[in-house]
Structures are given as C-alpha cells and as structure tokens.
Amino acid sequence: MTTLEPTRSPDVDAVIDALLELRSRTPLVHALTNYVAAGFTANVLLAAGASPAMVDNVEEAGIFAGVADAVLINLGTPQSALHDSYVAAATSARESGTPWVLDPIGAGGLPWRGELARELLAQHPTVIRGNASEVIGLHGLDGGGRGVDSSADPAAAVESARALLASADAVSASGPVDHVVAATGSGHNLLKVGGGHTLLTKVTGTGCSLGALVAAYAAVTPDGLTAAVSAHTHVAVAADIAAEKTSAPGSFAVAYLDALHDLGPDDIRARAQITWTSLS
C-alpha cells in the first residue's frame, strides 16, 4: 500500500515526498531487463535507494513478481526462452496489484517483440516508459502510429502516448525534455521534466535503468504519473550534478551513481524543472 496522497499534477513537493518515501521504504524491484543493462540497472536502483532483484527464469518469475514491490519488464534483448517469464511476471503483477513498468525497446520495428509487447499490454502496465521513437512505435502496433523514427522528439510522441493510455495509467517519452502523459477526469495531463545532460546518452543502460527507477517510485507513490515524474526528475537532477564534475562518459557514470545516491530535497527544490499542461 502507498502512503502518499494522490496529486492531480505532481510538483516539486510531491517529488520530494516521493524521494523521502523511496529512501524510507527501500522497495524491492523485480527487474526483468536486458543483459546489456542489468548490472548498471542494479547499481542505479541501489544508489537511488531501492533494492534490485533480477529473476527471469519461468519457474520463478511469476512468483517473484507477486511478492516484489514493483516490476520492470524491459524488451531490450528478449529471447524465446524468456517469453513465458515476461508474460508470467506481468500477469502476476496485475493479479496481485503490484505496479509494473513496460519498457518497449524495439517493439514498433521488430515483429516478434511487437507481438510480445501486445501480449504484455493486455496486462495493463502502470507506466509505459520509453524514448519518443519507442512510444510512437508501440502505438504503431495497432496501426495508429508512424513507426520508429530515431530522431523523434518527445513532443512528437504525445498523441501516441495519449492513445496508449487505453493500456496504461501513464506513459513517459524521454528525450532532451521528458514528456509524461496521464489521464484525468476531463482529459489528459502532460508534465514536462527538463534538465539532464547529453552524457546520459554516452553511457549504456541509463535509459533502461530509468525504467527500473520508475518502477521503484511506482511502489511508493499513489499513481503512475507521480512515479514517472519523480523518477525522471531524480535522473535529470542527478545527471546535471554529475556533469558539473566531469565531461567524459566513464567518469560520468561513476559521478552519476554518486549523484543518484547523494540527491536530497534541497537539490530537487533548487534544480527540478517540472511544468504542467492540461490537454483537452
């Protein structure tokens, strides 16, 4: 159960509350993620204040998803042997009320993983998190999107994100300015999270680990929108701090982990860039 009160449009105070809750509760995140990013993802979760577990065998994935605090399913390196593990984990998360995040890497451009993504969407992820191209591509599985465009700006993914809310509580498209969309009673909310640094794109696993951090926040916040905005803000502010200490990818990766760990309410209050728009 979450302990924070729901908020219509998460602001800096809501993100600070979420950060303190994350550090207090140390949620267990079950990350079924790609092998390229697994180690870095575990380190990001630990640095931020969560606890990682990578259980992807079919005999245990569903069971573990039912007892974890949150689940990430990342389609970066899917294999036939893992298909049933992904489906079991998503199904178990839905049935047990465990929040879960889908990171649909390549789902719009590769048919086999596209069908896998379609199966997973039926289990209603709490948050879909991807870059703009991935969000557009995932929407395109049903013929509504434009396909994968590697140069897509997050603003171009907003309509696809809105369409995907039929299958998720919130959708985030990351980029120079992250865009997060969720439904309201009368329409949709769009929150933009600025900041971050281009060095994030020079370190393998930063995007994948962001999905895991969204899952961690989903375990301690009342809704997917708050979870996504909190995770995106945590990453953006930490990246800004890390980039002030180094200009090369290797040292940035270390400084970034340190910044995720050291980040406090004062940093968020001073540096967070969150804007809100109501979409009719």
pLDDT tens column, 176-225: 999 999 997 778 999 999 999 999 999 999 999 999 999 999 999 999 99
| Exposed e or buried b per residue across 7-40, where buried means at least 16 C-beta atoms within 10 angstroms of its C-beta | bebbbbebbbbbbebbeebbbbbbbbbbeebbeb
pLDDT-derived band at 141, boundaries 50, 70, 90:
confident
pTM assigned to the model: 0.93
pLDDT of 198: 95
Q: Sketch the domain layout of the chain as residue ranges.
A: 12-279
- Domain 12-279 CATH class label: alpha beta
pLDDT tens column, 211-247: 999 999 999 999 999 999 999 999 999 999 999 999 9
pLDDT tens column, 42-54: 999 999 999 999 9
